[in-house]
Amino acid sequence: MIDAIRSEWAKTWTTRSTWFTLAAIVVLGALFAVLFGHAAATEHARMTAAERAAYRPAPDFRPLIFVQIAVGYFGLRAFTVEYLTRTMALTLTTTPRRGRVLAAKAVVCGGLTLAAGAVTGLIVVFVNRAVLTSRGVPVNPLAEPGMLRVLAGPGLLLALLGLIGLAVGCLLRSTAGALVVTIVMGVFVPAMASLYPEWLARLILSYWPITAGLRLLSLDGDPDLPGPAAGLAVTCTWAAILLAAAYVVLRRRDA
């Protein structure tokens, strides 16, 4: 198993696109933290006095909606590139235990997206706070209860989304197809929540991988939505189901 992981680790670092994708994860986080920070500041400036009094500052993780596309791409590539370059046959003759190949890719993908996600999460929070502070908008105190979870959570959430991307890449084999699924699942479905009937919107907010996972990073304590642990559990379940499906398909399918 350790040899399979070392092989996957080497594959990951011997192509330049790994660097580009990891850089994209961090840069997208910083970029959208600035954009959303300014948008929030503008919105704050237009608020009435009553609205301002009710305003409760909290970290803004909307940038992660965009970051997750890069993270999903990082995950799905691990399989789709091997199918594109036809090296899958080589991988499976040198490591014929297919579960081992999947596990090794999951370890490498999970580890790197955890690290990149953790860094990106901190950048998102602190860039956003810097923008808001510079525009005179109040930010919440770092010592607020739950802030440790909010600061440590993005790595975990993005690693799970990376693993979902990995599973989708394994199932679909094509980069374009898997990327479309990642974008539709990660962005389109949650972004259109306001168009759905309320029961469906609530269902998606509570049980969709990205929206449920974002509950981990929330400080609002909304009693109608899952708490941080429950939200994380939902995303974990999605990742587990998709990885199990990927395992079954990879074992049965002709390489």
Partner 1 sequence: MIEVTGLSKRYGDVVAVDDLTFDVKPGAVTGFLGPNGAGKTTTMRMILGLDAPHAGRARVLGARLADLPEPMRAVGALLDAGAVHPRRSARDHLRCLALSNRLGRRRVDEVLDLVGLTAVAHRHAGGFSLGMKQRLGLAAALLGDPGVLILDEPVNGLDPEGIVWIRTLIRKLAAEGRTVLVSSHLMGETAVTADRLIVVARGRLVADTTVEALARPDGVLVRTPEARRLARVLVTHGASDVDPAGDELVVRGLGTRRVGELAAAEGVVLYELTPRRASLEEAFMELTR
* Binds partner 1 by CB under 8 A, chosen from 42, 85, 133, 134: 85
- Evaluate whether 140 touches 49 at the Cβ level (below 8 Å): no
Least distance in angstroms from the C-beta of 33 to partner 1: 31
Per CB under 8 A, 248 contacts partner 1: no
SS3 state at 94: helix
Per CB under 8 A, 23 contacts partner 1: no
* Binds partner 1 by CB under 8 A, chosen from 11, 77, 105, 215: 11
Residue 205: how many other CB atoms lie within 10 Å: 20
- Evaluate whether 127 touches 37 at the Cβ level (below 8 Å): yes
Least distance in angstroms from the C-beta of 87 to partner 1: 5
For partner 1, how many residues bind (rule: CB under 8 A)? 26
CB nearer to partner 1: pick between 101 and 163: 101
Per CB under 8 A, 10 contacts partner 1: yes
Per CB under 8 A, 20 contacts partner 1: no
Q: Rounded to whole angstroms, how far apart are CA atoms 217 and 232?
A: 9
Least distance in angstroms from the C-beta of 90 to partner 1: 6
Q: Which residues contact residue 158 at a Cβ distance below 8 angstroms, ignoring those fewer than 6 apart?
A: 25, 64, 67, 68, 71, 113, 114, 116, 117, 120, 121
Least distance in angstroms from the C-beta of 165 to partner 1: 19
* Binds partner 1 by CB under 8 A, chosen from 14, 46, 49, 141: 14
Listed residue (144, 149, 178) closest to 246, CA to CA = 178
Q: How many CA atoms lie within 13 A of 133 on its CB side?
A: 10
Q: Of 66-74, 94-102, 110-118, 233-241, which segment contacts partner 1 by CB under 8 A?
A: 94-102
- Evaluate whether 74 touches 25 at the Cβ level (below 8 Å): yes
DSSP single-letter state for residue 135: T
Q: Rounded to whole angstroms, how far apart are CA atoms 68 and 28?
A: 9
Least distance in angstroms from the C-beta of 248 to partner 1: 14
Per CB under 8 A, 3 contacts partner 1: yes
Least distance in angstroms from the C-beta of 52 to partner 1: 53
* Binds partner 1 by CB under 8 A, chosen from 97, 133, 144, 229: 97
Dihedral of the CA atoms 185, 187, 191, 193 (nearest 10)?
10
Q: Enumerate binding residues for partner 1 (CB under 8 A).
A: 3-4, 6-7, 10-11, 14-17, 81, 85-87, 89-97, 252, 254-255
